[in-house]
Amino acid sequence: MMTTRILQICIPVLTIVVLALGPVPARAEESQTIPLQEIQTFSQVFALIKSDYVDPSSDQKLMQGAIAGMVHALDPHSAYLTPKEWKQMQVFTDGRFGGVGIEITPDHGLLRVVTPIDGTPAARAGIHAGDLIIKINGKAVEGLGLQKAVDEMRGKPGSQVSLTLLRPHSSVPLQVTLTRAIIKVQSVRYQMIAPDYGYLRISQFQDNTGNAVQAAVKELEKDADGKLKGLILDLRNNPGGVLQAGVETADTFLNQGLIVYTKGRTGSSDMRFRAHGPDLLHGAPVIVLINGGTASAAEIVTGALKDDGRALVLGSRSFGKGSVQSVIRLDNGGALKLTTALYYTPAGCSIQGQGIVPNVAIVPSNPEERQIDAALLKESELEGMLEAPDQCQKVQPQFEIAEPTPPATNQQKQTPSEGPDLATDFVLRKALEILQGNAVEVMQDGKSVKKVVPLPIYPSRDKNADARVKAA
């Protein structure tokens, strides 16, 4: 049976989407000899388990466990998928699945919430990015593994599942009961947020997201009678997804230039993705919103628009998931998900373990809130995280804006809204003020001063658009 290689960029989470790229070329010249001494040790341990372990174990169980352990020793995103797990993984290629709607990742034997997905039971229940799942239906998750934990959370739509959570800097467990549902993710939402200013939210990148983004931009232009003065692109708590969808999204706002490139050990791992244009906004300014839940393909889009001088990035440092996983079909019907490359922004910056640093950082004014913000999980804190050589480690925000502590009632509730809310969303409000050219309070030498934050001026394809950019 011919193995098939599949390329994707994603966090190992509830929603995984894959793209077939064709057969794997034979690379006999790169094959490595297996050390005989290690094989002898393996055989000895195998034989001892078969003969002396208190309960009989099947050969298949032991070999499957050995393979899984070997891959687990690599990095958090490489994994061996049994035939059953591979079939389950394929269920999600159309963005429709049963469950509660959270993106999770392993964290030192437990499970950490990367983000709840917009409009799902988890989002409506107020589950937060950074929450640590310690029990599912009363069973401890420690050592359970990602796939088994996902299986526990899935079930018949309408049935219930109980999650026991720990929040950063809290020792009191929180129990949440969720009603499972068929999750049909609407990856793109948009609306006019102010006269002549658009808002576009991408919750994750699916196969059709690129086309949906282009259609949304055209609709926003139509709503503004062709005079759209600016756009807020909200990628907060976007865990990533399909690489090509991220590339198509970045291309929507670019005329030309490099979007992202990957580097690995083999020639097939080295790829470059370029924009072909045209910029559908004709140079109108863009502000991208990010936070610690912005990961993978969402970081690709952010890095491209930032490095190409197309957008101002506002928020907090992103997750830092900058590795490429190739999914290789195996003869037994399973698959090997293997990290084969790292991706880099147009400026040559690796995102792996570092994330994207915003141009304008939103910093909680309350010291306690700053501690909680710093405690949110990042790629760099994952066990076995790959470190990437990089020249961009010392990049710092150009400006900082202090976010006031919300009233205690709002702080406790924190129920996500189904759409943008300028009254309660401080980050969104500041983005609109900057986009409109208004002065905002920024931190300078430890003091708060009013300042107009300059927006990137991007070459447009019509003179009227150039005038609008300069006026903004």
pLDDT of residue 1: 42
pTM over 0.75: yes
What domain range includes position 203? 188-319+335-471
387 and 462 in one domain?
yes
59 falls within a domain: no
DSSP 28: G
414 and 395 in one domain?
yes
Res. 321: pLDDT tops 80: yes
| DSSP codes of every residue in 49-102 | HHHHSSS---HHHHHHHHHHHHHHTT-TT-EEE-HHHHHHHHGGGGSEEEE--E
What contacts 122, CB < 8 A, 6 or more positions away?
A: 100, 101, 102, 113, 116, 178
Residue 426 banded pLDDT, cuts 50, 70, 90: very high
Residue type, 415: T
The span from the CA of 316 to the CA of 296, in Å, is 15
Mean pLDDT over each residue of the chain, to the nearest integer: 83
Active site amino acids: 296, 307, 321
- Bridge partners for 234 per DSSP: 201, 289
The span from the CA of 458 to the CA of 281, in Å, is 10
Q: Tokens standing for 278?
A: 């045209």
Residue 391 banded pLDDT, cuts 50, 70, 90: low
**Beta-carbon neighbour count of residue 395 at 10 Å?**
16
CA-wise closest residue to 279 among 429, 432, 468: 468
Task: Encode pLDDT of 142-193 as tens digits.
Answer: 878 777 888 889 888 899 999 999 987 788 999 999 999 988 778 999 999 9
246 and 389 in one domain?
yes
Res. 330: pLDDT tops 90: yes
Among 157, 184, 211, which residue terminates a domain?
A: 184
Inter-helix orientation angle 243-252/209-223, to 10°: 20
**Beta-carbon neighbour count of residue 174 at 10 Å?**
15
- CATH code for position 289: 3.90.226.10
DSSP 252: H
53 falls within a domain: no
The span from the CA of 48 to the CA of 54, in Å, is 11
CA-wise closest residue to 234 among 282, 190, 192: 190
More confident residue, 144 or 237: 237
Query: If DSSP codes are grouped into helix, strand and coil, which group holds residue 203?
Result: coil
76 falls within a domain: no
Res. 139: pLDDT tops 80: yes
Res. 129: pLDDT tops 60: yes
Number of domains the chain is built from? 2
294 and 360 in one domain?
yes
pLDDT of residue 432: 98
The span from the CA of 48 to the CA of 42, in Å, is 10
193 and 161 in one domain?
no
> What is the separation, in whole angstroms, between the first and last Cα of the chain?
59
230 and 132 in one domain?
no
DSSP 389: -
